[in-house]
Amino acid sequence: MAGILFIISAPSGSGKSTLVSELRKQVSGVDFSISWTTRAPRGSEEHGREYYFTNREEFERMRDAGMFLEHAEVFGNYYGTARHSLEEARKIGHDLLLDIDVQGAAKVRAAMPEAVSIFVMPPNPKVLRTRLRNRSRAEGQVNESELYRRLSEASKEIENYRDYGYILVNDILDRAVAQLEAIVLAERYYRNSEPIAYRSRRVLEVAAACRQPNSQERLKPVLEAFGILNPSGQQQLNFEEDSDDD
Ligand code: ADP
Ligand code: 5GP
């Protein structure tokens, strides 16, 4: 049985890593591709767990040797997915999850149109700002310019949502985790006829509601909050911190 390739993208701070780590606790048989990056480790991150950390010279050497399935420069650092990750997962028939940015996702989708792509959104810019700030505080390194950089990229990244098969709005964590799990189980059911037990109907409904064409009503307030639905582009993003968030 061939594994399924899942791609997950989101503006930084939306909660993608949190969702993926919850998914891994609840669903077996999904391997997580550990990317290579030239960015410095954050907080408690460890080499070989969240990322393989390297320098630009080594990354460029690997890139030139064709070791990456895709690579991109994000926030001034290189990130890349090793071909090896995909080969390993294929060998053992596991699903593989790639946590990559919108540029990397476009490259993988072009090469592997059968991949299942999922875009995670924060409910609004204020919540995103609060989450980014809380994460920086927890890691003991609030870097205002880095924070601002990640926030200002968010709406540009969100504009790519139409290229993704599924959309998750990560507002209430438990609900978003259940939706992500439902997408994985539903795709296994459709592609591999894998049984999904007594919850099957509910799981299929939850996953279907997250399909991009079925998400328009749910997305409208999110897109408005990020100024994306305003055709004049005049709307100002509101990054004021909301004291009662989170
Ligand atoms: P990403 O991987 O998308 O950059 P993270 O998973 O690191 O984001 O999450 C950013 C911050 O937001 C973390 O501090 C995380 O604990 C928090 N967070 C994630 N999802 C939620 C949620 N649904 N509600 C509240 N806080 C969340
Ligand atoms: P962070 O520095 O917050 O961990 O990640 C920043 C961005 O880089 C996120 O959007 C994340 O998905 C993306 N990213 C992580 N690994 C890869 C990768 O291997 N390839 C690409 N293209 N993007 C990646």
Pocket probe for ligand 2: among 5, 74, 98, 108, the residue whose CB has the most ligand atoms within 8 Å is: 74
Residue 139 lies in a domain: yes
Tell me the CA–centroid distance for residue 103 and ligand 2, in Å: 10
Q: Supply the mean pLDDT for the chain.
A: 90
What is the DSSP-derived secondary structure letter of residue 39? S
Residue 136, ligand 2, Cβ within 6 A: no
Residue 224 lies in a domain: yes
Contacting residues for 153 by C-beta, under 8 A, at least 6 apart: 11, 12, 75
Residue 161 lies in a domain: yes
Residue 49 lies in a domain: no
Domains contained in the chain, number? 1
Q: Please check whether residue 91 is in contact with residue 1, taking contact to mean a CB–CB distance below 8 angstroms.
A: no
Q: What is the pLDDT of residues 41-82, one digit of tens each?
A: 988 899 999 999 999 999 999 999 999 999 999 989 999 999
Residue 177, ligand 2, Cβ within 6 A: no
Residue 88 lies in a domain: no
Confidence of residue 199 (pLDDT cuts 50, 70, 90): low
Give the ligand 1 atom nearest the CA of 138: 14
Residue 68 lies in a domain: no
Backbone angles phi, psi at 158, to 5 degrees: -60, -30
Q: Please check whether residue 196 is in contact with residue 188, taking contact to mean a CB–CB distance below 8 angstroms.
A: yes
Residue 160 lies in a domain: yes
Confidence of residue 142 (pLDDT cuts 50, 70, 90): confident
pLDDT at 240: 53
Q: Please check whether residue 48 is in contact with residue 159, taking contact to mean a CB–CB distance below 8 angstroms.
A: no
Confidence of residue 245 (pLDDT cuts 50, 70, 90): very low
Predicted TM-score of the model (pTM): 0.91
Helix (H, G, I), strand (E, B) or coil at 25: helix
Tell me the CA–centroid distance for residue 187 and ligand 2, in Å: 24
- Which CATH number goes with the domain that contains 113? 3.40.50.300
pLDDT over 90 (residue 213): yes
Residue 48 lies in a domain: no
Tell me the CA–centroid distance for residue 111 and ligand 1, in Å: 30
Tell me the CA–centroid distance for residue 82 and ligand 2, in Å: 13
Host domain of residue 18:
5-33+93-245
Residue 157, ligand 2, Cβ within 6 A: no
Ligand with smallest separation from the Cα of 13: 1
